Amino acid sequence: MDNHTQVWLPLWLHPNMARQREAHVLYVIARLKDGVIAEVAQTELSAFLENWGDRVGTTDHVPTNRPLRSVDHTLQLRALQDAIVGNASRPIWVLQAAVGFVLLIVCANLANLVMARAGSRRREFVLRIALGASRGRLLRQSVTEGAVMSVAGGILGLWLASAGVRALIRAYPTSIPRPSELTINLPVLLVALGLSTGTALLFGFVALGRGRTSSMAAALKEGARGSSGAGRHYARRGLVIAQVAFAVMLVIGTGLLVQTVYNLTRIDAGFDRSRLATFSMTLPMANSEPEARAQAYQRVLDRLRSLPGVLGTAAMSGLPPNRTPDVIATPIENYTSDDGRPFAIIDYYQFVMGDYFGTMGIPIVAGRGFERTDTASRGKVAIVNETLAKRIWKGQNPIGRRLRPPGGSFGASDDVWHTVIGVAKDVRQRGVERPAGTEFYVSLDQHGVAPPSMNVVIRTTLPPAALSGTIQQVVREVDAAVPVVRLRDMDSVFAESIRRPRLLAQLLGAFAGLGLLLAAIGTYGVLSYMVTERRREIGIRLALGATRSHVLTQIMKQGLQVTALGVTIGLAGALAVTRLIASLLFGVQPTDIVTIAFVIATITAVAVVASWLPAWRASRLDPNVALRDE
């Protein structure tokens, strides 16, 4: 549903396809009447389908959704928005939560900055009040300073966000759905600016409240001796604890998604994708007859197979691992489904030409593959995958069993029973993160026909990119009007199948890195401010014999205590939050100990660095200089 569609044509089906009730190739969109809810429409549709077999004169088929597989083989209504968004809603919510965490960390840092500034000016405010300045004037000044800071930061943030969106679209042009609608809109801008401004103003009010007249004497006395006491830092420490907690939740979520992407890249999809090139081609209407199309494809495969460095060639109707399920109602000999129907709903129906299994590197685990002796004059044969064999024949030998593929499929089967001659290893067809569905294969070489569009694969000893020009030349020699579409290696196809989880992990990783950096800055800032306020106290301790290592240890201890509290709270929050992303994970649990341990070690290392710098500066103070400055 993007902006690429420019031309609409009336629907036309080949007569063979129009008679093929078992294949599902069309999407139906309906608008409900005013006042009709989806539940009522679903009830009426289900009632309409109750006697479907009597209405069409066959019990071998009932309509079912594509790509959904309903357990009762009925049509299920689905909101169009859900169909468009699909499973992208959960990642969107995860990213929104990550942005919210980063925003809260930024606001906590901003609040710490405002409170530190107000704390350093506390004696100034008290003196001004003592000299007759009104509270309203001081309040207006504080509010104005906070508003100016927030507006300036908001403008800079808006510019950075706009540049970031453009960079994101350029970096991931095919991974982001509907990129033209990815803009900085007014609601997002208002929420971000409102939250940051509100935080600055709120904590500015709180900080200003410390200058109340009842504490005037204490403030003057405190300012004179240059030490504010540890109790003054509780609020700022609490904000740092919150920053660390949010950073922990972000980093743990990122770690789990990174582990997911790593697991997906190492998964066995059922075929060998190394040194495998692929492209798609669609024959023109001049080759409208299935037999003519088969001859054209065969010439392409034979010519490609003769090239130096080419080990094998094949063509197929659907390219794994990014296929959409076919959902084929297929009669199977001596089989009755659990609901009493004489057919099974099979997920994938694969037409193949050439040495498909050898070229793709798909092992035949039982029986045999297609051979040149499987000619049109012999009985029709098929190969099933492991999942189909286990689900239909339940541990029995499937070799020699028979099934009947859809009749009239490009003239291929014409309702002929096919004998199972082999069982192929499962191939993950619809995303590498999904288990293999049921699938069977039919050789178009035996039928002498082919569909208009097919995917061609080439196994080569050369880098697939080196064959690009040669492949296009071969196709032009067969038919100059046929373009070579999406010529690429299978590694690229595989990477495309996991582009969304990889993009989510990368975006979340960027947010987590930013959150961790801000938390480190917050820890460093609070400790540095504490050291600055306690210069006189530290100088006195050093003058009275305290060792520099003791001062270093004490300051670092305070920073690590704050970090430990933040990590503890963050772990508790992460255990609750990561369960919400369990559906996005693959091969890793939300409570993965390795990931959690790695995050704790990372946060601790960052905290040590952030705490060591101000602690080292405190330990290097010259007592004479510190006391003289005060």
- Give a yes or no: residue 417 inside a domain: yes
Tokens of 541: 């301790």
The answer to whether residue 530 scores a pLDDT higher than 90 is no
Same domain, 165 and 299: no
Choose one of 45, 69, 86: the last residue of a domain.
86
Residue 2 covered by a domain:
no
Residue 6, in any domain of the structure: no
- What is the amino acid identity at position 554? Q
CA 478-484-485 angle, to 5 degrees, is 150
pLDDT tens, 563-610? 999 999 999 999 888 888 888 888 899 889 999 999 999 999 999 998
Residues 6+ apart with CB under 8 A from 301: 313, 314, 315, 353, 354, 456
Are 233 and 321 in a shared domain? no
Which of 102-116, 204-218, 371-385, 532-546: highest mean pLDDT?
Answer: 371-385
Residue 163 has pLDDT above 80, yes or no: yes
- Determine contact, residues 505/257, Cβ cutoff 8 Å: yes
Report the SS3 class of residue 434: coil
Asked whether residue 473 falls in the same domain as residue 535, the answer is no
Same domain, 217 and 308: no
Q: Cis omega (within 30 of 0) on the bond before 290?
A: no
Q: What tokens were used for 132? A: 């007759």
| Percent of the chain with pLDDT strictly greater than 90 | 23
Do 57 and 93 belong together in one domain? no
Question: Which residue carries 């772990």 as its tokens?
Answer: 571
**Angle, helix 290-305 to helix 468-478, in steps of 10 degrees:** 140
- How many Cβ atoms sit within 10 Å of the Cβ of residue 430? 20
Number of domains in the chain: 3
Indicate whether 216 and 131 sit together in one domain.
yes
Q: Identify whether residues 520 and 596 lie together within a single domain.
A: yes
At residue 356, the 3 state secondary structure works out as helix
Q: Are residues 124 and 258 in the same domain?
A: yes
Given pLDDT bands bounded at 50, 70 and 90, which one contains residue 345?
A: confident
Q: 63 falls in which pLDDT band (50, 70, 90)?
A: low
Domain limit, last residue, from 37, 54, 86:
86
DSSP 394-436: TTS--TT-EE-PPTTSTTS-SS--EEEEEEEPP---B-TTSPP
Which is more confidently placed, 201 or 224?
201
User: Is there a single domain that holds both residue 330 and residue 436?
Assistant: yes
Residue 370 reports pLDDT greater than 90: yes
Token reading at 19: 């008679």
Note the pLDDT tens digit of each residue in 250-262.
999 999 999 999 9
In a domain, 434, yes or no: yes
Element (H, E) at 486: strand 485-489
Same domain membership, residue 185 and residue 294:
no
pLDDT band at 285 (very low <50, low <70, confident <90, very high): low
The answer on pLDDT for 217 being more than 60 is no
pLDDT at 219: 53
The region, left, alpha or beta by phi > 0 then psi within -120 to 50, assigned to residue 10 is beta
76 within domain boundaries: yes
In the block, tokens 């099933």 appear at 384
Entry pTM: 0.78
CA 269, chain centre distance (Å): 19
Identify the domain boundary among 497, 525, 548.
497
Q: How sure is the predictor about 625, in pLDDT bands with cuts at 50, 70 and 90?
A: low
As given in the structure block, the two tokens for residue 611 are 């705490």
User: Whole-angstrom distance between the N-terminal and C-terminal Cα of the chain?
Assistant: 68
Residues 339 and 481 in one domain: yes
* Highest mean pLDDT pick, 66-70, 86-90, 234-238, 444-448: 444-448
Q: Would residue 147 count as lying in a domain?
A: yes
Specify the DSSP element, H or E, that contains 238.
Answer: helix 234-265
Whether residue 10 is contained in a domain is answered as: no
CA 195/CA 85 separation, integer angstroms: 29
Q: How confident is the model at residue 386 (pLDDT cuts 50, 70, 90)?
A: very high
Share of the chain above pLDDT 70, in %: 80
Does residue 236 register a pLDDT over 60? yes
Q: How confident is the model at residue 463 (pLDDT cuts 50, 70, 90)?
A: confident
Q: Domain of 72?
A: 15-86
Q: Which of 110-119, 208-217, 387-396, 506-515 has the lowest mean pLDDT?
A: 208-217
Assess if residue 191 is contained within a domain.
yes
Do strands 453-460 and 485-489 pair parallel, antiparallel, or not at all (unpaired)? unpaired
Same domain, 80 and 96: no
Q: Label residue 68 by pLDDT band (50, 70, 90).
A: very low
Closest CA to 330 of 423, 442, 449, 426: 442
Q: 248 pLDDT band (50/70/90 cuts)?
A: very high
